[in-house]
């Protein structure tokens, strides 16, 4: 079974509108971290936002927020006020176990290609 599932291969959004990119995960570990990365066509993976399994509040970073629903095992990325520069591939990733130490491995989803239309 896939540990990270991104069900939307591609998404389209109009400039200035909000968009939600879906991510569901599968783990039996009570301690885990969830990450979102953006990959523009240039190829670099850019870290966007982090959510820990014990965090009480949804993470926010500027126009990015994470809709964390622990019981449903979902960690959707919400981008508000989309910009043309947001067009990119977006990856959800999970680290199982406690932060640091030997629990280093990230498992990535297959990604969602977001296109922002003017």
Partner 1 sequence: DVKVTQSSRYLVKRTGEKVFLECVQDMDHENMFWYRQDPGLGLRLIYFSYDVKMKEKGDIPEGYSVSREKKERFSLILESASTNQTSMYLCASSFRVVLVLGTDTQYFGPGTRLTVL
Distance CA 52, CA 32 (A): 6
Q: Are 4 and 107 in contact (CB under 8 A)?
A: yes
> Is position 25 an interface residue for partner 1 (rule: CB under 8 A)?
no
108 makes contact with partner 1 (CB under 8 A):
yes
30: contact with partner 1 by CB under 8 A: no
Binding segment for partner 1 (CB under 8 A), chosen from 19-27, 38-46, 63-71, 73-81, is 38-46
| Residue 54 binds to partner 1 (criterion: CB under 8 A) | yes
Q: Which residues of 37-63 are buried (b: 16+ CB within 10 A; e: fewer)?
A: bbeeeeeeeeebbbbebeeeeebeeee
Applying CB under 8 A, the residues found at the interface with partner 1 are 33, 35, 37, 42-47, 50, 52, 54-55, 91, 95, 99-102, 104-106, 108-111
């Amino acid at each position: 079974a896939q540990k990270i599932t991104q069900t939307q291969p591609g998404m389209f959004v109009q400039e200035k509108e909000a968009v939600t990119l879906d991510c569901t995960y599968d783990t039996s570990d009570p301690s885990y971290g969830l990450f979102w990365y953006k990959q523009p066509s240039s190829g670099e993976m850019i870290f966007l936002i982090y959510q820990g399994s014990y965090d009480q509040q949804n993470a926010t970073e500027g126009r990015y927020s994470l809709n964390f629903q622990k019981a449903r095992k979902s960690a959707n990325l919400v981008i508000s006020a989309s910009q043309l520069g947001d067009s990119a591939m977006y990856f959800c990733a999970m680290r199982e176990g406690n932060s640091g130490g030997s629990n280093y491995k990230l498992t990535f989803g297959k990604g969602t290609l977001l296109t922002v239309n003017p």
